[in-house]
Amino acid sequence: MRAMLKRNAQLHKFMAVPAILLFAFFFIYPLLRGIGISLTDSNGVTTPHFVGLDNFVQFWHDERARTDVRNTVYFALGSAPLLNVFGLLYALLLDRKFPLKGAVRAIVYLPAVISPLIMGYVWYFMLQPGRGFLFHALEQLKLGFLSGNWLGDSSTALLVIIVVNVWQFVGLTMVIYLAGLQSIPGELYEAATIDGAGYAARLRYVTLPLLYPSIQINVVTNIIGSLSVFDVIVAMTDGGPGYSTESLSLYILRMLYGSFTGYSTAVALILFVLIIVPVGLFLRLTKSREYEL
């Protein structure tokens, strides 16, 4: 028996080797290679020279770079919570039985399967002042005073992008919450109802605790997606007006095309840390909160 268990353990280790090799080749090696390039003045053409931490120091002395960090963080602080709140509300609503429930679910989820770049361009044309669909719709409703150049105003452009991003991807968050809701046994709700628990009490003491794995998945994926936002900004404002909506992902691309390969790689590592820190903290803080059916 012991010999069989030992052989199975060895077999499991052997079967893990391909996954480990792929992880090392596609993640560990590029990461180490990137760290090496970030410490040079590489421009992608001439022979690079070692410059130490100069690229990282230069980043924090660049006002445009600091603005991009603020834009990225503000976008994440606005987008990630809204995606989770509205995704959960949609899931709670669409988990009930009513006519055409499947069609409503499909309509809410449909935008998530469309490219963010394409969706961004659609909203860009819809929001054009004086000629966009929304402008004409407000005019027909006698609400023309509400229209304006929202994408051309630095005080509203980022907010509009957040709203568009939430509208597009709330369906994806909803689907994950729906899967979690449907895995909760109905007997638990029946028992809570018999004990006199109302809807709010059932939501607090039954639904949310058992929905925790779905909450964890959605929070982590939304943090990562929000901090690495790129497509929708390129389509709607291209980082403007000025640099008021430029994200770090867009900044990295522009620095790379500007032949600042070493510097752009350093910024990519900074973005990597900016993503991994909140995700790691969230997972650390929520590690002990595990609920089982």
The per-residue pLDDT for range 52-74, each reduced to its tens digit, is 999 999 999 999 999 999 999 99
CATH number at residue 104: 1.10.3720.10
Per-residue pLDDT tens over the stretch 248-281: 999 999 998 888 999 999 999 999 999 999 999 9
Per-residue pLDDT tens over the stretch 176-216: 999 999 999 989 889 999 888 898 999 999 999 999 999 99
Q: Which residue has the higher pLDDT, 17 or 244?
A: 244
Q: How many residues does the chain have?
A: 293
Give domain status of residue 25, yes or no: no
Return the pLDDT at 3.
62
**Over residues 101-107, mean pLDDT:** 90
DSSP string, the chain: -HHHHHHHHHHHHHHHHHHHHHHIIIIIHHHHHHHHHHTB---SSSPP-B-TTHHHHHHHT-HHHHHHHHHHHHHHHHHHHHHHHHHHHHHHHHTS--TTHHHHHHHHHGGGGS-HHHHHHHHHHHT-TTTSHHHHHHHHTT-GGG---GGG-TTTHHHHHHHHHHHHHHHHHHHHHHHHHHTS-HHHHHHHHHTT--HHHHIIIIIHHHTHHHHHHHHHHHHHHHHT--HHHHHHTTT-STTTT--HHHHHHHHHHTT-HHHHHHHHHHHHHHHHHHHHHHHHHTTT-----
In the predicted model, is pLDDT for residue 293 greater than 90? no
**Over residues 6-10, mean pLDDT:** 65
Give domain status of residue 220, yes or no: yes
For residues 23 and 16, what is the distance between their CA atoms, to the nearest angstrom? Answer: 11
Give domain status of residue 91, yes or no: yes
Residue 281's domain comprises: 39-285
Give domain status of residue 114, yes or no: yes
For residues 214 and 181, what is the distance between their CA atoms, to the nearest angstrom? Answer: 9
Return the pLDDT at 8.
64
Return the pLDDT at 4.
59
**Over residues 84-89, mean pLDDT:** 96
| Residue 50 Ramachandran class (φ > 0 left, ψ -120 to 50 alpha, else beta) | beta
Domain count, the chain: 1
Per-residue pLDDT tens over the stretch 114-126: 999 999 999 999 9
Return the pLDDT at 70.
96
Cβ neighbours of residue 183 under 8 Å, at least 6 residues apart?
210, 293
* 7 phi/psi in degrees, rounded to 5: -65, -40
Predicted confidence band at 7 (pLDDT cuts at 50, 70, 90)?
Answer: low
For residues 206 and 187, what is the distance between their CA atoms, to the nearest angstrom? Answer: 11
Per-residue pLDDT tens over the stretch 23-38: 999 999 999 999 999 9
Give domain status of residue 16, yes or no: no
